[in-house]
């Protein structure tokens, strides 16, 4: 059975969406995903905006109620019948996120076994056939085939097979 | 550079020692590592004793002040200059342990990067050349070479190169 590792933030969890909504509301400045295409958030925001975003990420329970990315539950459920699915998230940058991330996964993807959750930093440690991730640097060090999940910051990245949505993941792995 | 993954409990952290000391004290029944050689703790204890041990493991902060296994700091420091060291712990069985385990690692092994910490369940996900672990089932599913670190429960296990101490690890990897 082939093994697919799946990233959480921007692939299963709309973390950026939550960040932008909160920033827009608190700063009274609308900021959308469209506005930051091809850039990192820290390239677009003033230094105090970057600090604000960091404070959101570090705040207690931030990762508790992030919206699920459309289609991820249905497609992962079907994939889990045909592949070994591991969830691999770079949690070490935000140690306060461990508990929230665990609970979030259990709440929204109860068909996945916690034995297959991996909270890590450097994703080159993953032994899997595929890694679906939005971060090119994670795909670059991964030993299997990296699949790039579209996020605003990576729209201009090349060199990987790309999926724009879970519908695309479905088409790639289930048809 | 070769990569070595290292388990935490019973390899870096004397978790069993802390469990046995607390059990002996509270139950007024001396129980030592010698008493459980070749067996799992749950094979030796009465059902209510097993429940008690589980309650220790699940209690807040249990993993906060576990003693460091002798030699692990010095030898890992020297190994980290010659190998990529990853710490891989089966934290998913005890989600309440995430924070404590992270802080414990930072406190006692400040030379290791959190980017190289892996909190997982099934260790077959690890991509490394070696895994030093006391659990035969972890070594069995690991793709590289498994090195068995002696613990009471595994004294009769065969089929792996064995190390009885960090002195042995030193001799195997640094000389």
Complete DSSP assignment for A135-166 = -HHHHHH-SSEEEEEP-GGGTT--SSEEESSH
Instruction: Please confirm, yes or no, whether A122 is among the known catalytic residues.
Output: no
Q: Which phi and psi angles does B9 have, rounded to 5°? A: -65, 130
**A88: nearest CA in chain B?**
B120
Beta bridge partners of A132: A6, A147
**pLDDT 10s digits, A73-130:** 999 999 999 999 999 999 998 888 899 999 999 999 999 999 999 999 999 999 999 9
Checking if the pLDDT of A51 tops 90, the result is yes
Q: Taking residues A153-160, what's their average pLDDT?
A: 97
**pLDDT 10s digits, B18-62:** 999 999 999 999 999 999 999 999 999 999 999 999 999 988 889
Quick one: which of A63, A46, A59 has its CA closest to A9?
Answer: A63
Q: Give the per-residue pLDDT at B68.
A: 98
Chain A contact probe: residue of B8, B89, B119, B126 with most A CBs at under 10 A: B119
Q: Give the per-residue pLDDT at B172.
A: 98
With contact defined as beta carbons under 8 Å apart, do B76 and B109 qualify?
yes
Q: How far apart are CA A64 and CA A15, in angstroms?
A: 11
Give the closest of B118, B122, B128 to A120, CB-based. B118
With contact defined as beta carbons under 8 Å apart, do B91 and A119 qualify?
yes
Q: Which residues of B98-126 are buried (b: 16+ CB within 10 A; e: fewer)?
A: bbbbbebbeebbeebbbbbbbbbbbbbbb
Whether A118 sits inside 8 A of B114 (CB atoms) is no
SS3 A40: coil
Give the closest of A95, A98, A127 to B126, CB-based. A127
3-state helix/strand/coil string of chain B: CCEEEECCECCCECHHHHHHHHHHHHHCCCCCCHHHCCCCHHHHCCHHHHHHHHHHHHCCCHHHHCCECCCHHHHHHHHCCCCEEEEEEEHHHCHHHHHHHHHHHHHHCCCCCHHHEEEECCHHHECCCEEEECCHHHHHHCCCEEEEECCHHHCCCCCCEEECCHHHHHHHHHC
Q: Give the per-residue pLDDT at B60.
A: 85
Which stretch of DSSP H or E encloses residue A103?
helix A98-108
Chain B residues at the A interface, defined by Cβ less than 8 Å, are: 3, 5, 86, 88, 91-92, 95-96, 98-99, 102-103, 113-122, 124-128, 143
**pLDDT 10s digits, B108-127:** 999 999 999 999 999 999 99
- The model's confidence at residue A2, banded by pLDDT at 50, 70 and 90, is very high
Whether B119 sits inside 8 A of A95 (CB atoms) is no
Q: Chain A residues with CB inside 8 Å of B98's CB?
A: 95, 98-99, 102, 119
DSSP state of A126: B
Q: How far apart are CA A57 and CA A74, in angstroms?
A: 27
Chain A contact probe: residue of B5, B120, B126, B142 with most A CBs at under 10 A: B120
Checking if the pLDDT of A60 tops 90, the result is no
Quick one: which of A107, A111, A164, A105 has its CA closest to A134?
Answer: A164
Q: How far apart are CA B130 and CA B144, in angstroms?
A: 5
């Amino acid at each position: 059975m082939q093994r697919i590792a799946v990233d959480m933030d921007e692939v299963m969890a709309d973390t950026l969406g939550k960040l932008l909504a909160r920033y827009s509301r608190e700063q009274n400045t609308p900021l959308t995903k469209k506005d930051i295409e091809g850039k990192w958030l820290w390239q677009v925001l003033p230094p105090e905006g970057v600090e604000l975003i960091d404070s959101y990420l570090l705040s207690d329970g931030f990762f508790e109620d992030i919206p699920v990315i459309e289609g991820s539950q249905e497609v992962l459920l079907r994939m889990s019948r045909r592949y070994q699915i591991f969830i691999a998230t770079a949690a070490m940058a935000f140690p306060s996120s461990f508990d929230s991330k665990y609970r979030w996964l259990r709440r929204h993807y109860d068909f996945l076994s916690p034995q297959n959750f991996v909270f890590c930093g450097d994703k080159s440690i993953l032994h899997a056939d595929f890694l679906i991730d939005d971060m090119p640097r994670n795909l670059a060090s991964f030993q299997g085939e990296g699949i790039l999940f579209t996020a605003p910051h990576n729209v201009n990245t090349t060199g990987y097979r790309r999926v724009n949505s879970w519908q695309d993941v479905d088409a790639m792995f289930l048809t």
